[in-house]
Amino acid sequence: MNLKTLADVNIEGKIVVVRADYNVPLKDEKIIEDTRIVASLPTIKKLLEMGAKRIHLLTHLGRPKGIAEPSLSTIAIAKRLGQLLDMEVEHRSDFTPSEAKIQLHENTRFWPGEKKNNPAFVQELLNIGGEIFVMDAFGTAHRGHASVVGLARYMPAVAGLLVAQEVEAMSPYLTDEKQPGLTVMVGGAKLDTKIAVLEQFAKIADNILVGGALANTFLAAQGFDVGASFHQPDKLDTAMEIMGICDAHGCGFHVPVDVMCADSHDSDNPLDVPLEDVMGDMRIYDIGAHTIASFAEIIMHSKVLIWNGPMGMIEQKHFQKGTEMMAKAAAKTSAKTVLGGGDTLAALDMFNLPHDSYTHVSTGGGAMLELLEGKALPGLEILKI
Ligand code: ADP
Ligand code: 3PG
Ligand code: MG
Residues 143 and 34 in one domain: yes
Query: Which residue from 21, 65, 368 has its CB within 8 A of the most atoms of ligand 2, so it is best to mutate?
Result: 21
What is the domain count for the chain?
2
Q: What pLDDT does residue 167 have?
A: 98
* 346 and 271 inside one domain: yes
Domain boundary among 163, 195, 218: 163
Average pLDDT, integer, range 163-183: 97
Write the CATH number for 94: 3.40.50.1260
90 with 143, same domain: the answer is yes
**CA neighbours within 13 Å on the CB side: how many for 189?**
7
Each residue of 313-357: pLDDT tens digit?
Answer: 999 999 999 999 999 999 999 999 999 998 999 999 999 999 999
**CA separation for the pair 88, 80 (Å, rounded):** 10
Determine if ligand 1 sits within 6 Å of the CB of residue 309: yes
Identify whether residues 152 and 180 lie together within a single domain: no
Give the position, in ligand 2's atom list, of the atom nearest the Cα of 21.
5
CA distances to 24, 153, 263 from 131, in Å: 28, 12, 59
For residue 343, report the distance from its CA to the centre of ligand 3, in Å. 5
Rounded mean pLDDT of 122-127? 98
153 lines ligand 2 (CB under 6 A): no
Q: Is the residue at 210 inside a domain?
A: yes
Specify the pairing of strand 336-340 against strand 304-308.
parallel
Is 341 found in the same domain as 238? yes
Using alpha carbons, select from 285, 273, 354 the residue that is nearest to residue 315.
285
- Whether the per-residue pLDDT at 297 is higher than 90: the answer is yes
User: What torsion do the CA atoms of 346, 352, 354, 358 make, to the nearest 10 degrees?
Assistant: -70
Is 270 inside any structural domain? Answer: yes
Q: Relative to the CA of 23, which ligand 2 atom is closest?
A: 5
Ligand 1 centroid to Cα of residue 135, in Å, is: 30
The pLDDT assigned to 29 comes to 86
What confidence tier does 79 reach under pLDDT thresholds 50, 70, 90?
very high
pLDDT attached to residue 330: 98
Contact 306, 338 (CB under 8 A): yes
Residue 191 and residue 134 share a domain: no
Tell me, using a 6 A CB cutoff, whether residue 379 lines ligand 2: no
Ligand 2 proximity of 254 Cβ (cutoff 6 Å): no
pLDDT-derived band at 176, boundaries 50, 70, 90: very high
Asked if the structure places residue 382 within a domain, the reply is no
Distance, CA 173 to ligand 1 centroid (Å)?
A: 24
Asked whether residue 272 falls in the same domain as residue 149, the answer is no
Ligand nearest to the CA of 307: 1
Query: What average pLDDT does range 194-212 have in this prediction?
Result: 97
- Taking CA atoms only, the protein residue closest to ligand 2 atom 1 is 139
Same domain, 74 and 203: no
Average pLDDT, the chain: 97
Give 12-28 as a DSSP string.
Answer: TT-EEEEE------EET
Q: What is the position in ligand 2's atom list of the atom closest to the CA of 145?
A: 11
- What are the pLDDT digits (tens) for 48-60? 999 999 999 999 9
Judge whether 358 lies within some domain: yes
For residue 380, being part of any structural domain is answered with no
Cβ–Cβ under 8 Å, residues 303 and 296: no
pTM of the model: 0.94
Q: Is the CB of 343 under 6 A from ligand 1?
A: yes
> Exposed, middle or buried: residue 177 (CB in 10 Å: 0-12, 13-18, 19+)?
exposed
Relative to the CA of 366, which ligand 2 atom is closest? 3
Inside any domain, residue 159: yes
C-alpha to C-alpha distance for 323 and 214, rounded to whole angstroms: 14
Neighbours of 8 (CB within 10 A): 12
Give distance in angstroms: CA of 383 to centre of ligand 1. 33
Domain membership of residue 385 (yes or no) is no
Q: Closest Cα to atom 12, ligand 1: which residue?
A: 188
Domain shared by 147 and 178, yes or no? no
Residue 111 is assigned to a structural domain of this protein:
yes
Rounded distance from Cα 139 to ligand 2 centre (Å): 6
| Ligand nearest to the backbone CA of 139 | 2
Distance 291 CA to ligand 3 centre (A): 23
What's the pLDDT score for residue 367?
Answer: 97
Least confident of 30-34, 201-205, 206-210: 30-34
280, 208: one domain: yes
Determine the distance from the C-alpha atom of residue 193 to the mean position of all C-alpha atoms in its chain, rounded to a whole number: 12
The last residue of one of the domains, among 126, 144, 163, is 163
Q: Half-sphere exposure (CA, 13 Å, Cβ side) for 355? A: 14
Task: Give distance in angstroms: CA of 365 to centre of ligand 2.
Answer: 8
How far separated are the first and last CA of the chain, in Å rounded? Answer: 9
Distance CA 44, CA 34 (A): 16
Q: What is the pLDDT of residues 224-238, one digit of tens each?
A: 999 999 999 999 999
Buried b (16+ CB within 10 A) or exposed e, 62-87: eebeeeeeeebbbebbbebbbeebee
211 lines ligand 1 (CB under 6 A): no
Domain that holds residue 56: 6-163
Distance 342 CA to ligand 3 centre (A): 5
Q: Is ligand 2 within 6 A of the CB of residue 322? A: no
pLDDT digits (tens, 9 = 90+) for 9-25: 999 999 999 999 999 99
Tell me, what amino acid is at 295? F
Residue that terminates a domain, selected from 131, 163, 195: 163
Q: Are residues 314 and 363 in the same domain?
A: yes
CB of 344 sitting under 6 A from ligand 2? no
Q: 144: CA distance to ligand 1 center in Å?
A: 26
User: Could you tell me if the CB of 161 is within 6 A of ligand 1?
Assistant: no
- Residue nearest (by alpha carbon) to ligand 1 atom 8: 309
**Residue minimizing CA distance to atom 9 of ligand 2:** 366
Q: Are residues 106 and 179 in the same domain?
A: no
